Chain A
Amino acid sequence: MDLNFTPEELAFREEVRTFLKSKLPDDIRAKIKGGKRLVKDDYFRWHKALSEQGWLGSNWPTEYGGPGWDPVRKHIFEEECYAYGAPRILPFGVNMVAPVIMKFGNQAQKDYYLPRILDLTDWWCQGYSEPGSGSDLASLRTSAVREGDHYIINGQKTWTTLGQHADMIFCLVRTNPDAAKPQEGISFILVDMNTPGVTVRPIILLEGEHEVNEVWFDNVKVPAENLVGEENKGWTYAKYLLTHERTGIANVGSSKAALLHLKAIARDQVKNGRPLIEDPLFRNRIAKVEIDLMAHEMTNLRVLAEVQSGGAPGLESSILKIRGTEIRQEITDLARRAIGPYAMPFQSEALDEGFNGEPVGPDYAAPIAQQYFNMRKLSIYGGSNEIQKNIIAKAGLGL
């Protein structure tokens, strides 16, 4: 047993660091470090830098333009990106729809869409959730009716992350309302957001941010060639996509970076005349989450090693989702508590680039409570943590 990274892996880590230092724009890094709001162009410039380096499709096979990294390298890459202050890579194109197109799409779809994802011509968003479906995704109702060489789509999608910026949306639609089971009769279809009848309406989240949207389809006419795979087989593709979504859900890199920030805050804040980090109760809370994160990281690495040697993660990916999100949430909770009363002021404008006003409280305080509330989503999306427990109970424990 040897828990050290190999010399090749350490060299790769250095290569990633060098890349980040020279190619991640300073203003974007400053925004991430300061908890400021990102705009579309920030994401675009970061993705562009990755794309030019050949590192955007980190999960992609080399034949489609991926870098050919093994799971450990992907882990190192992610960890370094977060540590340095890079934005997250938006998964909707590269990590969600692309694997489905590669596996189930026809040659024309591969030839057309995949290069456009890698060179950032198309921005994607996801159309899975519906207002009435929640975690019971198979109950979705948006309909697609075949008329000649088109489908006519009607219905409503929701929780569409950054859909306001997207050019394309991949949707699950019901093509056979009379199927015996709800999982049957669902198809996977690609829709141009500029098609007449598509309407995007913002949903403002509890912390005041416009991150997600509703997407309405009113007699939207989509070419039949946009259907991926076979009609009524969409549920299979959807599940395949979700297993891809869950890789990387461990959130180790992001939590490590957040923990360092939490410690910096706790060193700066004062309780009873001494740094908060010396307060016995608070330091134990930090120690506990740090140990949880160590255990979680080890679990993640053990799973990666298993995958590397050809094993498939079973219940482990659900464990990683549950623990990863719980730990990330705990860290944001401690950060909120660390700033004490300064969690209270709602300074949304202080998150904008070029804010010249006088911030209330320490400069790091403004985003903290908002992040805490925003991070409540982690245990809800991607299959809520309760759903993950159902999966472990059934598939892992045989209950």
Chain B
Amino acid sequence: MDFSLSEEQRMLKDTVERLVRETYDFEKRQKIAASEEGFSRDVWGQLAELGMLGVPFAEEFGGLGSGGVDLMILGEAMGRGLVVEPYLSTVVLGGGLIDLLGSAEQKESLLNAVVGGETLLAFAHGEPDSRYEPAHVRCKAEKTGGGWTLTGRKSVVLNGAAADQLIVSARISGGHDDEDGIGLFLVGKDAANLKVHGTPGIDGTHVAEIALDGVEVGADAVLGTPGACFAAIEEVMARAIVMLAGEAVGAMEVAVETTVEYLKTRKQFGKALSQFQVLQHRAVDMRISLEQAKSLAVLAAARLGEPRAVREMAISAAKAGIGQHARIVGELAIQLHGGIGMTWEVPVAHYAKRLVMIDHLFGDTDHHLERFAALSDAAA
């Protein structure tokens, strides 16, 4: 058993941590988060220059061909800086789907553009009534002429408004929650009959509601084999959860550090808050949650390359566990800061928001507890 990072992983960690530390201070982050697009073209360009946008892909696309641990490392650094750049949507989800399902031409044109920072992608998958069920797809794809026509709605799509290309999931056959019968289609942002309504998220990220009212795409827009895309969807969501787990750990580290520092400096009743035992114990609860979250993130990252049954148990364990621990850390960070923790001006409040919102992505604690129980039954 070996928990140490390889030489390459240490270098990756140093590179991304330095970038975040040196170019992404809190004020700048706030400006970027409040901007129209919800990210910074400058920062994105720097990420591309440093090779960060290719990390999960094969070497021929300028990547490191690496797995879960690298995603966790990237997530952790971005979590520490509350980075809002569209890495999950463009690289992990969008790029991941093209990597898994794309034809040689699609990979050649799209992956290179993603890695180079020229193209942004979004995965339009969730729907108004799908909640967190990944197989729930009602949006319809009908074969028309040489191509397909898409009709339906997609909701809370990460970075949906900024994306140059959407990858839309749509049902070709079967019932609305069947795993079989789901197809994936590339849709350009300027397509006719496509409506994209972007909105800021409460945590500084940006999402979009999308309506497809008979959007026509050609045969070259098909990703993979129509009707047989679910396994790839599950796999890129697993990768996204690994990165998100890392992000939660990074954000939790900062929230714990900041709160401990505050307890040492803030005085009440003539002494530092850190001298009140009840507050010490609550800070310890935060620290313990951080440790447990880190363990689950490591587990999920290390199991990402394993067969599905092993991988998904670790993924659901991580997402359910981290959902609970992130909430504990987020809520206590606010509580221990007292009134000031309730204000827009302090960074820790924004860490708390991101920590709580992470539970709303790719399945919340309840969803993954239930899923873990089912996987655990199946394994028994």
Question: Interface residue tally of chain A, by bracket?
Answer: 35 or more
B117 to chain A, nearest CB (A): 28
Question: Bound state CA distance, A37 and B369, in angstroms?
Answer: 35
Q: Is the CB of A399 within 8 A of B302?
A: no
The B contact surface, by secondary structure, is: helix
Question: Bound state CA distance, A392 and B286, in angstroms?
Answer: 11
Question: Bound state CA distance, A305 and B366, in angstroms?
Answer: 32
Closest to B375 in A: A287
Q: What residues of chain A lie closer than 8 Å to B320, measured between beta carbons?
A: 287-288, 291
Q: What residues of chain A lie closer than 8 Å to B9, measured between beta carbons?
A: 1
Question: Bound state CA distance, A392 and B274, in angstroms?
Answer: 13
Question: Bound state CA distance, A288 and B4, in angstroms?
Answer: 28
Q: What residues of chain B lie closer than 8 Å to A316, measured between beta carbons?
A: 291
Answer whether residue A312 sits at the interface, using C-beta atoms and an 8 A cutoff: no
Q: Is the CB of A390 within 8 A of B277?
A: yes
The interface stretch among A79-87, A209-217, A237-245, A292-300 is: A292-300
Question: Bound state CA distance, A288 and B281, in angstroms?
Answer: 23
Please, what's the 1-or-0 string for B351-379, where 1 marks a CB less than 8 Å from any CB in chain A?
A: 00000000000000010011011001100
Q: Is the CB of A392 within 8 A of B372?
A: no
Answer whether residue B223 sits at the interface, using C-beta atoms and an 8 A cutoff: no
Answer whether residue A393 sits at the interface, using C-beta atoms and an 8 A cutoff: yes
Residues A1-44 near B (CB distance < 8 A):
1-6, 9
Answer whether residue A72 sits at the interface, using C-beta atoms and an 8 A cutoff: yes
Q: Is the CB of A295 within 8 A of B284?
A: no
Residues B135-193 near A (CB distance < 8 A):
none
Which of A2, A291, A390, A393 makes the CB contact (< 8 A) with B302?
Answer: A2
Which of B287, B295, B376 makes the CB contact (< 8 A) with A396?
Answer: B287
Which of A1, A284, A287 makes the CB contact (< 8 A) with B298?
Answer: A1
- 15 A-B pairs, CB-CB below 8 angstroms? A1-B4, A1-B298, A1-B302, A5-B1, A9-B1, A263-B380, A284-B370, A287-B372, A291-B321, A292-B292, A292-B321, A298-B296, A299-B292, A392-B284, A399-B283
Closest to B264 in A: A399
Q: What residues of chain A lie closer than 8 Å to B274, measured between beta carbons?
A: 399
B337 to chain A, nearest CB (A): 15
Given A295-B321, A397-B284, A399-B264, A1:B296 Cβ within 8 A: no
Closest to B370 in A: A284
Q: What residues of chain A lie closer than 8 Å to B285, measured between beta carbons?
A: 389
Q: How many residue pairs bridge A and B at CB < 8 Å? A: 126
Answer whether residue B92 sits at the interface, using C-beta atoms and an 8 A cutoff: no
Closest to A386 in B: B281
B241 to chain A, nearest CB (A): 14
Which of B69, B281, B299, B366 makes the CB contact (< 8 A) with A298?
Answer: B299
Q: Is the CB of B284 within 8 A of A2?
A: no
Q: Is the CB of A389 within 8 A of B376?
A: no
Question: Bound state CA distance, A136 and B1, in angstroms?
Answer: 39
Q: What residues of chain B lie closer than 8 Å to A9, measured between beta carbons?
A: 1
- B interface residue numbers (CB < 8 A to A): 1-6, 9, 69, 260, 263-264, 274, 277, 280-281, 283-285, 287-288, 291-296, 298-299, 301-303, 314, 317, 320-321, 324, 366, 369-370, 372-373, 376-377, 380
Answer whether residue A333 sits at the interface, using C-beta atoms and an 8 A cutoff: no
A394 to chain B, nearest CB (A): 8
Answer whether residue A331 sits at the interface, using C-beta atoms and an 8 A cutoff: no
Given A284-B366, A291-B321, A399:B373 Cβ within 8 A: no
B265 to chain A, nearest CB (A): 12
Q: What residues of chain B lie closer than 8 Å to A286, measured between beta carbons?
A: 373
Q: What residues of chain A lie closer than 8 Å to B288, measured between beta carbons?
A: 319, 322-323, 392
Q: What residues of chain A lie closer than 8 Å to B2, measured between beta carbons?
A: 1-2, 305
Which of A295, A386, A389, A399 makes the CB contact (< 8 A) with B292?
Answer: A295
Closest to A293 in B: B317
Q: Is the CB of B373 within 8 A of A287?
A: yes
12 more A-B residue pairs beyond the given contacts A294-B314, A323-B288, A392-B284, with a C-beta to C-beta distance below 8 A = A1-B6, A1-B69, A2-B2, A9-B1, A72-B1, A290-B317, A294-B317, A295-B295, A298-B296, A298-B299, A301-B3, A399-B263
Question: Bound state CA distance, A263 and B373, in angstroms?
Answer: 11
Which of B6, B283, B295 makes the CB contact (< 8 A) with A393?
Answer: B283
Q: Is the CB of B69 within 8 A of A389?
A: no
Q: What residues of chain B lie closer than 8 Å to A392, measured between beta carbons?
A: 284, 287-288
Q: What residues of chain B lie closer than 8 Å to A305, measured between beta carbons?
A: 1-3
Q: Is the CB of A393 within 8 A of B4?
A: no
- A interface residue numbers (CB < 8 A to B): 1-6, 9, 72, 263, 277, 280, 283-284, 286-288, 290-292, 294-299, 301-302, 305, 315-316, 319, 322-323, 386, 389-390, 392-394, 396-399
Q: Is the CB of A389 within 8 A of B380?
A: no
Which of A277, A288, A296, A399 makes the CB contact (< 8 A) with B295?
Answer: A296
Q: What residues of chain A lie closer than 8 Å to B372, measured between beta carbons?
A: 287, 290-291
Question: Bound state CA distance, A296 and B9, in angstroms?
Answer: 25
Closest to A4 in B: B1
Q: What residues of chain B lie closer than 8 Å to A296, measured between beta carbons?
A: 292, 295
Q: What residues of chain B lie closer than 8 Å to A284, measured between beta carbons?
A: 366, 369-370, 373
Question: Bound state CA distance, A72 and B3, in angstroms?
Answer: 13
Given A284-B373, A389-B281, A3:B287 Cβ within 8 A: no
Q: Is the CB of A3 within 8 A of B1?
A: yes
Closest to B276 in A: A399
Question: Bound state CA distance, A283 and B274, in angstroms?
Answer: 39
Closest to B325 in A: A295
Q: What residues of chain A lie closer than 8 Å to B292, measured between beta carbons?
A: 292, 295-296, 299, 323
Q: Is the CB of B1 within 8 A of A6?
A: yes
Q: What residues of chain B lie closer than 8 Å to A301, measured between beta carbons?
A: 1, 3
Q: What residues of chain A lie closer than 8 Å to B369, measured between beta carbons?
A: 284, 287-288, 291
Question: Bound state CA distance, A283 and B377, in angstroms?
Answer: 10
Which of B3, B277, B299 makes the CB contact (< 8 A) with A294?
Answer: B299
B145 to chain A, nearest CB (A): 47
Q: Is the CB of A397 within 8 A of B302?
A: no
Question: Bound state CA distance, A295 and B316, in angstroms?
Answer: 12
Q: Is the CB of A283 within 8 A of B373?
A: yes
Q: Is the CB of B301 within 8 A of A1?
A: yes
Q: Is the CB of B303 within 8 A of A399?
A: no
* 9 interchain residue pairs of minimum CB distance: A298-B295, A393-B280, A287-B373, A295-B292, A399-B274, A283-B373, A389-B284, A3-B302, A299-B295
A135 to chain B, nearest CB (A): 13
B250 to chain A, nearest CB (A): 17
A326 to chain B, nearest CB (A): 9
Question: Bound state CA distance, A291 and B288, in angstroms?
Answer: 15
Which of A2, A3, A386, A399 makes the CB contact (< 8 A) with B299?
Answer: A3
B292 to chain A, nearest CB (A): 4
